[in-house]
Structure formats: structure tokens, C-alpha cells
């Protein structure tokens, strides 16, 4: 979404809530001190009407935003990821969306950032690290570190950015670059890591990648445990945690544990079927190959 539009919608929603609360308070006070007051009753009647009108207006604005060429392409990308994962069509959509943003001079928008981060994440999983770097390095990090972005998503975009950057470092075996990414993420981690939820999940996975490239598998395992204990849906955390467990077992030569974890990973991806099951199992197969 265009960042300005997103901010306006969020501010509008907050304003509606504040006005709603104020009107209720005023109506109740008037009724309390002047029972039967027409004004108090009118305010209380106006409250649900204004709320409904406000919600309708927000829905119209949101629908209008999504109907733009860039908004439509973004929605198409999300549908493709949910249905078919990182398919060939997914990569085409990402490039088409990025091209639309560039044509409109809108490379600062949340849309462009999302296209690039989704693309970088997908290429990282495919172990095409050069491509992943090309995508993620096109993101203007001054924008995703801004107060406006923080207001919009409470750091989720930055969490994905740092996690993807560290995954690339792990894949390339670049220890120095991993140190630089971790140092860069320092202020973010101090501010958001304790919040929990998906932010913490991404940062724990980032730490797993960092300690893996450093060869400290004990600490990698500790962060994998944190992923498994996170209070988020199993479908969001289990494949991530199982992959990290598997990685540690394979790196440390624990064949029986690795084989058991491989089975658990496969089960978690197939029941229910994860759209990216094939690419994740290919990644797991490559990890298991280190045991042989």
C-alpha cells in the first residue's frame, strides 16, 4: 500500500475510535445530570450511525487503494503465495509489481518494499543468493526505519528485512557480513525483540542463521527452542523451528535425531499442506545431505 494512504487510513481509524469514545462519554454525562435530555439521547443515537458511516468510508478508501494497478498486483502476489507458494508465476508478479512502482516513481511505498522483500526471501530459500541480494539491496532502508513505518507495522518490515539479510549471510557463509547485519539490527532488537509475536519469531530465526554461520550450534539450538515456544500458530512456527533443529542435528552429526526431525518437518508441511512445502523440503534435503 502507498505509505501515505496507509498512514491516513490508520489515523482515520484512530480518530474514529477517539471521537466514538468522546461522544459516548458526553452522552452519558448529559443523561446523568439531565435525565431525559433530548441532546443526550440524540448524541447516543448519533454514535452508532457515525461509527457505521466511518467504517463504510474506510472500506471504500481501502477498496479504492486495492483497485489501483499496483494494489491489484500486490493482492495477486499474496494470493499466489498463499495458493501456490514461491511458484514461477510468483516471481513474475514480483517483477511486474516492482516495474509498476518504478514507472510511477513510487519506490518508497510499502508495495515496492514488500515486492522486494518477498522476492529476496524466496530467492534465499532457493539458494540463489546473488538474486536475493539484488532484490533486498534495492530497498531504501531509511524508509523502513522511519517513524511512519514504525507507526504502520511496529517493526515487522524491519524484522523481515534483517532476517532475510542474515539468511543470505548464512547461505553465502559470510561471517563478516553477518556481524555487520547483527550490529545494524542492534537498535531494532533492543526496541522490538521483547514485544513478542511475529517480530520475535523473525529475530529468533535471524539469530539461528547468525549462530549457524558462526558455527555456534548450541546457541542456534537455543533460539530454535524459542521459536518453538513462541505464542503464535503452529503453522507459522513449526516448520521454521523444525528446519533449525534439523540444521543443528546435521551440523553436529546427530543422525538419528536428524532423521526424526526430518519426518516431523515433513508432517508439519503436509498436514495441512504448506504452499511452500516443496521448496522447504528441498532445503531440508540439502541439509540432510551433509550427514552423508
Per-residue pLDDT of the chain (292 residues; tens, 9 = 90+): 444 445 444 554 555 566 556 656 665 565 566 666 565 555 555 556 556 655 555 565 555 555 578 888 988 999 999 999 999 999 999 999 999 988 888 787 888 999 999 999 999 998 999 999 999 999 988 888 877 777 777 788 888 999 999 999 999 999 999 999 999 998 788 777 766 666 888 899 999 999 999 999 999 999 999 999 888 788 778 899 999 999 999 999 999 999 999 999 999 998 878 899 999 999 999 999 988 6
Distances (CA, A) of 172 to 215, 223, 249: 14, 21, 20
Cell numbers linked to 60: 471504500
106 shares a domain with 37: no
Total domains present in the chain: 3
Task: Count Cα neighbours of 89 within 13 Å in the Cβ-side half-sphere.
Answer: 11
Q: Are 81 and 21 in contact (CB under 8 A)?
A: no
**Residue listed under C-alpha cell 516513481:** 105
Residue ending a domain, choose from 126, 145, 172: 126
Looking at the structure, do residues 187 and 213 belong to the same domain, yes or no?
yes
Interatomic CA distance for residues 81 and 75, integer angstroms: 10
Asked if residue 228 and residue 177 are part of one domain, the reply reads yes
* Structure confidence at residue 108 (pLDDT): 77
Is residue 88 domain-shared with residue 175, that is, in the same domain? no
Judgement on whether residues 162 and 278 belong to the same structural domain of the protein: yes
Domain with 269, as residue range(s), is 127-291
Position 35 scores a pLDDT of: 62
In a shared domain, residues 113 and 152 = no
**Residue 79 and residue 53 share a domain:** no
Q: What was the pLDDT predicted at 250?
A: 96
φ/ψ of 273, rounded to 5, equals -65, 125
Same domain, residue pair 169 and 253: yes
C-alpha separations of 5 from 25, 122, 191 in Å: 30, 27, 26
Residue 140's φ and ψ, nearest 5 degrees, are: -80, 105
Which H or E run includes 98? helix 88-103
Residues 108 and 131 in one domain: no
Domain end call among 78, 93, 126: 126
Q: What does DSSP assign to residue 274?
A: P
The three grid cell numbers given for residue 154, joined into one nine-digit string: 511496529
Residues 159 and 174 in one domain: yes
Give 194-199's long-range contacts (Cβ < 8 A, gap of 24+): 195/154, 195/155, 196/230, 196/231, 197/230, 197/231, 197/232, 198/156, 198/159, 198/232, 198/236, 199/154, 199/155, 199/156, 199/159
Among residues 105, 126, 147, which one ends one of the domains?
A: 126
In angstroms, the CA 225 to CA 241 distance is: 7
CA–CA separation, 120 and 131 (whole Å): 7
Amino acid at each position: 500500500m502507498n505509505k501515505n494512504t496507509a498512514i491516513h487510513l490508520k489515523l482515520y481509524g484512530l480518530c474514529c475510535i477517539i471521537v466514538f469514545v468522546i461522544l459516548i462519554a458526553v452522552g452519558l454525562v448529559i443523561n446523568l445530570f439531565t435525565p431525559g435530555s433530548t441532546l443526550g439521547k440524540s448524541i447516543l443515537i448519533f454514535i452508532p450511525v457515525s461509527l457505521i458511516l466511518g467504517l463504510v468510508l474506510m472500506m471504500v478508501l481501502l477498496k479504492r487503494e486495492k483497485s489501483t494497478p499496483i494494489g491489484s498486483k500486490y493482492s495477486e502476489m499474496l494470493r499466489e503465495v498463499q495458493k501456490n507458494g514461491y511458484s514461477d508465476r510468483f516471481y513474475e508478479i514480483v517483477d511486474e509489481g516492482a516495474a509498476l512502482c518504478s514507472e510511477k516513481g513510487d519506490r518508497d511505498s510499502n508495495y515496492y518494499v514488500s515486492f522486494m522483500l518477498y522476492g529476496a526471501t524466496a530467492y534465499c530459500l532457493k539458494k540463489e543468493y546473488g538474486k536475493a541480494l539484488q532484490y533486498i539491496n534495492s530497498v531504501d532502508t531509511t524508509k523502513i526505519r522511519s517513524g511512519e513505518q514504525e507507526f504502520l507495522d511496529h517493526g515487522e518490515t524491519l524484522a523481515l528485512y534483517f532476517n532475510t539479510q542474515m539468511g543470505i549471510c548464512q547461505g553465502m557463509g559470510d561471517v563478516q557480513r553477518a556481524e555487520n547485519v547483527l550490529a545494524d539490527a542492534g537498535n531494532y532488537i533492543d526496541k522490538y525483540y521483547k514485544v513478542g509475536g511475529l517480530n520475535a519469531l523473525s529475530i529468533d530465526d535471524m539469530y539461528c542463521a547468525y549462530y549457524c554461520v558462526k558455527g555456534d550450534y548450541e546457541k542456534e539450538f537455543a533460539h530454535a527452542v524459542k521459536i518453538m515456544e513462541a505464542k503464535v500458530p503452529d503453522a507459522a512456527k513449526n516448520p521454521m523451528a523444525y528446519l533449525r533443529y534439523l540444521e543443528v542435528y546435521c551440523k553436529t552429526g546427530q543422525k538419528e535425531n536428524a532423521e526424526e526431525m526430518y519426518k516431523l518437518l515433513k508432517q508439519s508441511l503436509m498436514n495441512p499442506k504448506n504452499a511452500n512445502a516443496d521448496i522447504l523440503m528441498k532445503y531440508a534435503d540439502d541439509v540432510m545431505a551433509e550427514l552423508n
